[in-house]
């Protein structure tokens, strides 16, 4: 017995070419009969002169006006152009071969189906972070390339392995006046730098859980850190920026001086050529790595009206820098570091605490404090809001991104750490036959970080 597909092919369902699909190039002098609308041509030829459109000076009755407009509509061809009684060749746009309906169906199946991207509005996972300090000027969270999250909770520093969910206590400070004030993973994920309120910096080998070195030079707490290969840059409440060469055990440092208040934001560009710094003086500086021995900055941006802690370099445009201002400013500004100009400014309506670019699409995620306490996703370069991600009940102070760029972790003053798959690339429909478990509210795995 023949299969249904064979019977379908035998019937030869055919999409016959209409007059607008005729592909004959035609003749210059002989009209092409198959392209003509003979019924309409015959009607126009046999219509009496009395029914033709009168002169415009003639006053028409409503019935005559209706008849005139009806005739105008009927004398247009399928493309809305004036009807041509003699057609010599078809329109190039309408030239298309006839296809079997089966072939058309198979062509539609070969077209890649467009999968819609799902933006989760709830966290995929929640961890408890007791004693997380509610301080805008500190940087207490970082996700390394080794897929380990470093988080400072009060006097303690913990490591959470995202691969196996293991938690390790790296250090605990017994001195009540001292505490970890900043953390930053090295580019290779092997070394963790920890800044302290006592003005020192410690380098830790996290695989062996042992301290490697102590770096000095600041006179007040170290609130910001950023790596550039083997150079560790630190910013302090003493207003200075120090570049430490961790390969040298001697005094191999250089200084950037330009801020007049605490340096609360530092970020090296992916190329390692430029360093952005933000301070409590409402100023953003851009420094060149080739001029580390000089305090001469490349750019000085003074458009913000509050402290600037949130800094992020664009991953697909190397000379684009995003910065976010505090409560009195509430703006995200995009800077062109080649021209030194602000090319975009968006008022978010809330304190901007942190920024992270999407590596897979042209988007940027912002973390907000007072008035909103949420995360907001924006398209770039239009900076139109895509979605708001709620759940935190206090200001969201910290953001960091997973090594694959699919997940963002946020830490807030409500002492919770939340994971969002907001940057996850859209998956193909064939690989997901059912709703993912993370879509379900009951899939949230709440656990303690310690």
Phi/psi class of residue 127: alpha, beta or left (left: φ > 0; alpha: ψ in -120 to 50)? Answer: beta
For residue 41, give every residue at least 6 positions away whose Cβ sits within 8 Å of its Cβ, in sequence order, or none: 85
Residues 412-443: tens digit of each pLDDT:
999 999 999 999 775 544 344 333 444 443 34
Mean pLDDT of 102-126: 73
By mean pLDDT, which of 377-386, 401-410, 434-443 is the weakest? 434-443
Band (407; pLDDT cuts 50, 70, 90): very high
Mean pLDDT of 343-370: 96
Q: What pTM was estimated for this model as a whole?
A: 0.72
- The residues with which 203 forms a beta bridge, in sequence order, are 193, 213
pLDDT at 410 over 50: yes
**CA nearest neighbour of 409 among 132, 35, 196:** 132
Which tokens go with 291? 């001029």
- Contact (Cβ atoms closer than 8 angstroms) between residue 17 and residue 99: no
- C-alpha to C-alpha distances, 304 to 81, 312, 423, nearest whole angstrom: 57, 15, 28
∠ Cα 414 380 394 (to 5°): 10
Cα–Cα distance for residue pair 181/132, rounded to 1 Å: 11
pLDDT at 308 over 60: yes
- Contact (Cβ atoms closer than 8 angstroms) between residue 375 and residue 400: no
Mean pLDDT of 238-264: 90
Residue 425: cis peptide before it, omega within 30 degrees of 0: no
> What percent of the chain stands above pLDDT 90?
63
Burial degree of 361 (CB within 10 A; 0-12, 13-18, 19+): middle
């Amino acid at each position: 017995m023949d299969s249904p597909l064979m019977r379908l092919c035998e019937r030869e369902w055919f999409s016959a070419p209409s007059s607008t699909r005729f592909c004959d190039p035609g003749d210059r002098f002989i009209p092409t009969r198959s392209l003509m609308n003979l019924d309409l041509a015959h009607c126009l030829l046999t219509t009496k002169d009395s029914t033709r459109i009168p002169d415009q000076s003639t006053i028409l009755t409503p019935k005559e006006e209706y008849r005139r407009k009806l005739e105008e509509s009927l004398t247009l061809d399928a493309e809305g152009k004036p009807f041509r009684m003699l057609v010599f060749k078809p329109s190039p746009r309408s030239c298309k071969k006839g296809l079997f309906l089966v072939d058309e169906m198979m062509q539609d199946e070969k077209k890649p189906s467009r999968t819609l991207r799902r933006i989760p509005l709830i966290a995929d996972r929640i961890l408890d972070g007791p004693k997380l300090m509610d301080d805008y000027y500190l940087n207490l969270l970082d996700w390394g390339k080794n897929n380990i999250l470093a988080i400072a909770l009060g006097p303690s520093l913990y490591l959470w392995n995202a691969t196996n969910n293991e938690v390790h206590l790296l250090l605990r400070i017994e001195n009540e006046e001292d505490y970890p004030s900043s953390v930053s993973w090295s580019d290779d994920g092997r070394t963790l730098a920890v800044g302290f309120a006592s003005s020192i910096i410690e380098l830790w080998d996290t695989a062996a859980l042992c301290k490697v070195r102590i770096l000095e030079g600041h006179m007040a707490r170290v609130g910001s850190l950023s790596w550039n290969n083997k150079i560790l840059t630190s910013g302090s409440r003493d207003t200075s920026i120090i570049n430490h060469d961790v390969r040298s055990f001697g005094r191999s440092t250089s200084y950037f001086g330009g801020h007049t208040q605490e340096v609360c934001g530092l970020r090296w560009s992916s190329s390692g050529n430029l360093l952005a710094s933000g301070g409590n003086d409402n100023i953003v500086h851009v420094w060149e790595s080739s001029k580390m021995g000089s305090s001469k900055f490349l750019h000085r941006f003074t458009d913000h009206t509050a402290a600037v802690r949130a800094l992020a370099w664009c991953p697909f445009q190397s000379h684009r820098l995003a910065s976010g201002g505090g409560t009195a400013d509430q703006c995200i500004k995009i800077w062109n570091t080649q021209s030194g100009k602000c090319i975009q400014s968006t008022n978010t309506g809330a304190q901007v605490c942190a920024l992270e670019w999407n590596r897979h699409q042209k988007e940027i995620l912002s973390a907000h404090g007072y008035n909103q306490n949420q995360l907001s996703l924006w398209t770039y370069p239009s900076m139109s809001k895509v979605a708001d991600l709620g759940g935190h009940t206090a200001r969201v102070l910290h953001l960091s991104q997973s090594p694959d760029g699919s997940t963002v972790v946020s830490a807030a003053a409500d002492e919770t750490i939340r994971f969002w798959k907001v940057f996850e690339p859209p998956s193909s429909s064939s690989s997901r036959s059912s709703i993912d478990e993370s879509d379900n509210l009951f899939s949230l795995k709440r656990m303690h970080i310690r």
